[in-house]
């Protein structure tokens, strides 16, 4: 399985996600510039965290027009795994690959801490190595992480089991229904505000994120249902 990590101007978690996949999980990974028009030869694509284009206009609003995004959309529609964390999640919503959007945190503050999460759905490409309703903890680091969608969309997300991670115990940013991560209807696109790539080695104090990448590597070649 060959994985592309997209590098936008202002990405700052690209190295973390690259190393989580390559050094820690042994995957075949490349950095791919936002200027590339093609992702031919890749089986999965990662949109990293950071502040692409300085978060100008809205977080992710400019990045979605980068040349590489047409290829990302094509992969998503083809059912190949697409993962976005933090700014990557914001880009996926702006690109219309995931419903809803991310607003400024209710507290108006940039929040950087480890938070408890519930794995709501472990029947996805990205979460199969977790237990259902398992409690894990992952770092968050964002100012614009308050998930918003209208009531009908939220109901649809829940009915289709698209809510994959929820904030447990406390809601750090005002996200509706405590949503921390969602998939698209088909389940091959996952966006989440927490950073699993920052929690993959014991020496860093937390390995709860590692199984997300291991799930992807174990399931990556599985074709999703249309």
Partner 1 sequence: MTKVRIFVTYKPSVFDPQGDTIKKTIHALGHDEVADVQVGKFFDLTIDAQVDQVAKTVKEVAEKLLVNFNMETYTYQVMEEN
What residues line the site for partner 1 (CB under 8 A)? 57-58, 61, 65, 93-94, 99-101, 103-108, 146, 148-150, 174
Within a 10 A sphere around the Cβ of 108, how many other Cβ atoms? 7
Active site residue 161: no
| Beta-sheet strand order (sheet of 82-85) | 28-33, 2-7, 44-47, 82-85, 189-192, 179-183, 163-167, 111-119, 135-142
Smallest distance, partner 1 to C-beta of residue 8, A? 17
* Cα angle: 53, vertex 59, 65; to 5 degrees: 60
Decide: 85 and 196 in contact? Cβ < 8 Å. yes
Q: Active site residue: 13, 94, 195, 214, which one?
A: 195
Q: Active site residue: 86, 94, 118, 214, which one?
A: 86
Cβ distance to partner 1 smaller for residue 89 or 213: 89
The SS3 of residue 216 is helix
Smallest distance, partner 1 to C-beta of residue 174, A? 7
What φ, ψ does residue 78 adopt, rounded to 5°? -80, -5
Cβ distance to partner 1 smaller for residue 81 or 145: 145
Smallest distance, partner 1 to C-beta of residue 112, A? 18
Active site residue 112: no
Smallest distance, partner 1 to C-beta of residue 195, A? 22
Provide Rg for the chain, Cα atoms.
16
CA atoms of 69 and 76, how far apart (whole Å): 10
Q: Which residues pair with 138 in a beta bridge?
A: 115
Active site residue 195: yes
Cβ distance to partner 1 smaller for residue 77 or 103: 103
- Which residues are annotated as catalytic? 86, 195, 197
């Amino acid at each position: 399985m060959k994985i592309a990590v997209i590098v936008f101007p202002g990405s700052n978690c690209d190295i973390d996600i690259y190393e989580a996949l390559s050094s820690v999980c042994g995957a075949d990974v490349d950095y791919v510039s936002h200027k590339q028009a093609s992702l031919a030869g890749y089986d999965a694509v990662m949109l990293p965290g950071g502040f692409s284009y300085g978060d100008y206009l809205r977080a992710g609003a400019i990045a979605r027009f980068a040349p590489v995004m047409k290829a990302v959309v094509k992969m998503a529609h083809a059912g190949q795994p697409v993962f976005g964390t933090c700014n990557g999640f914001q880009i996926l919503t702006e690109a219309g690959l995931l419903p809803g959007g991310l607003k400024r945190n209710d507290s108006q503050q940039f929040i950087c801490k480890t938070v408890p999460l519930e794995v709501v759905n472990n029947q996805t490409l990205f979460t199969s190595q977790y237990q259902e309703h398992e409690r894990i903890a992952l770092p968050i680091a964002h100012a614009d992480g308050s998930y918003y969608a209208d009531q009908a969309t939220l109901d649809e997300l829940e009915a289709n089991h698209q809510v994959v991670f929820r904030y447990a115990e406390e809601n750090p940013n005002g996200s509706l229904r405590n949503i921390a991560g969602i998939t698209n209807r088909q389940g091959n696109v996952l966006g989440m505000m927490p950073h699993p790539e920052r929690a993959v080695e014991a020496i860093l104090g937390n390995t709860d994120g590692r199984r997300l990448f291991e799930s992807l590597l174990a399931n990556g070649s599985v074709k999703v249902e249309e």
